Amino acid sequence: MSLNLGAILQASAARHADRPVLMLGDYCMTYRELDRAARGFAAALRQKGIQPGDHVAVMLPNVPQFPVAYFGALYAGAAVVPLNVLFTADEVEYHLKDSQARLLVGHPMFEAPARSGAERAGVPLIWADGEGETVDTLAAGDPVEGPAQTAADDTAVILYTSGTTGRPKGAELTHSNLLMNCKVVVPDMLPLSPDDVALATLPLFHSFGQSCVMNAAIAAGASFVLLPRFTPQDALALVQQHRVTFFAGVPTMYFAILGFPEADQYDASSLRLCVTGGAPMPVEVLKAFNSKYGVEILEGYGLSETSPVASFNRLDMPRNPGSIGYPVWGVEMAIMDEQGALLGDGERGEIVIRGHNVMKGYLGRPEATAEAIDAQGWFHSGDVGVRSAADGSFAIVDRLKDMILRGGFNVYPREVEEVLYQHPAVAEAAVLGIPDQEHGEEVKAVLALKPGESLTAEEVIAYCKEHVAAYKYPRVVEFMDILPKGPTGKILKREMR
């Protein structure tokens, strides 16, 4: 049986051909136009030798060319590899090589790292717009008839996630994974209709923005307003201008809107659905936003490896502030101890997840896949949680992993530490998260230098800026003569915290 994630666009284009699907500034694209552009781009990819099963990388902000390239690749039977637009050339090169991408679609705003990384990886590059051959010009060519015949278990999207050790790994999400995530999001979780308007300011290269905004809106026949760079002023202005009904954001966005001194100048009364994820949401922010705007924020939980939605609070079920809600339809969640035994209500342990949303595996890493997904099919999240005896909802209470959640983005200390260890003056390095009012957590580096070496905090920050994306480099640097260690020589981050 053929199953292709592109079917959500194909179906909505058939039902709502002349309705708007996306807006950016004064530009508006209808479902008919997006479907036609995606089919044109798919044909161009085939002419360039892209075969079903190949991988196409997309390094674009929230612009119309993102869904064109995304669905164009799916229509061609290829898998999409979304890349963070903040990646450095080193990171672009690594992700292109590791994903075995056959092509990179880049944006002129990020020309230098995209061009350099693609050249080093030996991957051809197409720009979103500008002079010559672009997504826009290619999409205008003769189109394919419709989505390629792909199987349910074929890879549709490869999302990169680092875990806590080693280099980033590509989580292979299948057409079935992502179509089922659409099914549980719309309408079970988010009762969206063609009359709804979403604000798409979460990055579409991120799983949250992809599944819960772009794909959810398209599956419902709704429209979305693109906001490439979030500011509270721009977000509120667009909510007022387009009568936005659905907003999905990370906690820092809600915090910024509440703290914006001119917020009362904008009419946000059209909002009826607000959701959050990507980082724990402070209960005070939930209550304050609900009080100010009269709309309750629904908090959910998921990971790149779970497509991403695993649990969510629902409008028709009891909601507890600070809870991540209930497993979505067809998905099991449980609490497990270190020995693999399932724990009862009220007991703390690791959150494990099993169901249609769990990835096929990490691309080219069978050992890492086996470590993440046990013999019973449980995906091990690395998050410590507890299940409520009262209503069966789940809450996160801690993290097994050292991952830092900065403004909704995952920062993996090991990746930054590896960069720091490459500096000739550094003897020991530890990266950890510290509380931060604006971003939730901030990245801090603690260093011990080699004898006779000197280094300033500013020099460390500048060095890291050259090698990692902007959201990853440490903003705070501390120096110690020697880092605290346990009996085996392992650096004890808990003492530094």
Residue 440 lies in a domain: yes
For residues 330-335, average pLDDT: 98
Return the CATH number at 334.
Answer: 2.30.38.10
Share of the chain above pLDDT 70, in %: 97
The helix (H) or strand (E) run that includes residue 197 is strand 197-200
Among residues 399, 421, 455, the one where a domain terminates is 399
Return the CATH number at 472.
Answer: 3.30.300.30
For residues 292-297, average pLDDT: 94
413 and 334 within one domain: no
pLDDT tens digit sequence for 24-49: 999 999 999 999 999 999 999 999 99
211 and 64 within one domain: yes
207 and 105 within one domain: yes
Residue 218 lies in a domain: yes
Q: Residue 416 is part of which domain span?
A: 404-496
431 and 466 within one domain: yes
pTM of the complete model beyond 0.85: yes
Return the CATH number at 115.
Answer: 3.40.50.12780
**Total number of domains in the chain:** 3
Among residues 342, 373, 399, the one where a domain terminates is 399
458 and 368 within one domain: no
Residue 243 lies in a domain: no
Is the pLDDT confidence value at 442 over 70? Answer: yes
**Helix, strand or coil, per DSSP, at residue 365:** coil
Residue 467 lies in a domain: yes
User: pLDDT value at position 163?
Assistant: 53
How many degrees, rounded to 5, is the angle at CA 180 between CA 6 and CA 404?
100
123 and 31 within one domain: yes
Evaluate the CA torsion angle 59, 238, 249, 360 in order and state its sign: negative
How many degrees, rounded to 5, is the angle at CA 158 between CA 386 and CA 327?
25
pLDDT tens digit sequence for 119-128: 999 999 999 9
Q: What are phi and psi of 382, to 5 degrees?
A: 85, 0
Is the pLDDT confidence value at 106 over 90? Answer: yes
User: pLDDT value at position 47?
Assistant: 98
Residue 425 lies in a domain: yes
The residue among 391 and 492 whose pLDDT is bigger is: 391
Contact 222, 250 (CB under 8 A): no
The pair of structure tokens assigned to 459 is 């020099």
Residue 188 lies in a domain: yes
Mean pLDDT of the chain: 93
Pick the closest to residue 396 from 444, 335, 324, 457 (CA basis): 324
Measured CA to CA, the distance from residue 238 to residue 63 in angstroms comes to 15
User: pLDDT value at position 91?
Assistant: 95
Write the DSSP symbol of residue 78.
P
Beta strands per DSSP E along 217-330: 223-226, 246-249, 273-276, 297-302, 309-312, 326-327
Residue 413 lies in a domain: yes
420 and 380 within one domain: no
The pair of structure tokens assigned to 437 is 């009012």
24 and 120 within one domain: yes
327 and 215 within one domain: no
Evaluate the CA torsion angle 409, 413, 415, 418 in order and state its sign: positive
Residue 276 lies in a domain: no
User: pLDDT value at position 251?
Assistant: 85
Is the pLDDT confidence value at 162 over 70? Answer: no
419 and 380 within one domain: no
Is the pLDDT confidence value at 336 over 80? Answer: yes
